[in-house]
Amino acid sequence: AVESRIIEIEDRWRHANWQVSLNGEARELGVPQTDAIEDASRTSDLVVTVSDRHPPLGRGYQLYTMKPDGSEQRRITRDGLNVHARLSPDGQTVAYLHAEKGAADIRVSSTNGTDERVVYQSEAKTMLGNGACWSPDGKYLAMAIFEAPDGVTGVNDGAPAELRNGRLLITSADGKFRKEVAPAALHVLDLGFLDWQ
């Protein structure tokens, strides 16, 4: 039964990662088919990927950095579910959403997997949107946070429409500075992935 499950997961999650130029020329990258690219550096010499390639399969996505040809792979997370990775403007740091045991936080790590730290820990009844985005100078992160209704405690529990009091949280990359901005109307269904211009 274990082999059957592993084969089923491997057959189901295959990714094709391509680079397309402005003139329409496309080339398939050497990133493993087990990985999906989450973000690429501005110089296109580094990608961060998400994958469930290591056991226990189906138990949590981990993040990797590598060159677009698949060389110099580094695993930068070790536990929990790690998604929505974004590279800093200088390509040296990765911000991502980490979830484990019903709690979620935003973490940053160097692209070689060292110096991991939590910059925002979700509080009771607070849920995070789709990760965080970097300011153009790489000093700050912005993320969407919401209040969960009574009885909703898990990261993915409840219907998105039930989340309320949406607001943006700006934090420094070291987590020491924090400021909330509450737009007049921010609903979880309005949000895709944030970007900072």
Angstrom CA distances, 13 to 16, 33, 83, 126, stand at: 10, 8, 16, 31
- Among 8, 1, 107, CA closest to 58: 8
How many Cα atoms occupy the beta-carbon half-sphere of 48 within 13 Å?
28
What pLDDT, in 10s, does the model give residues 17-66?
888 888 888 888 899 988 999 999 988 899 999 998 876 666 679 999 99
More confident residue, 4 or 39: 39
What pLDDT score was predicted for residue 101? 82
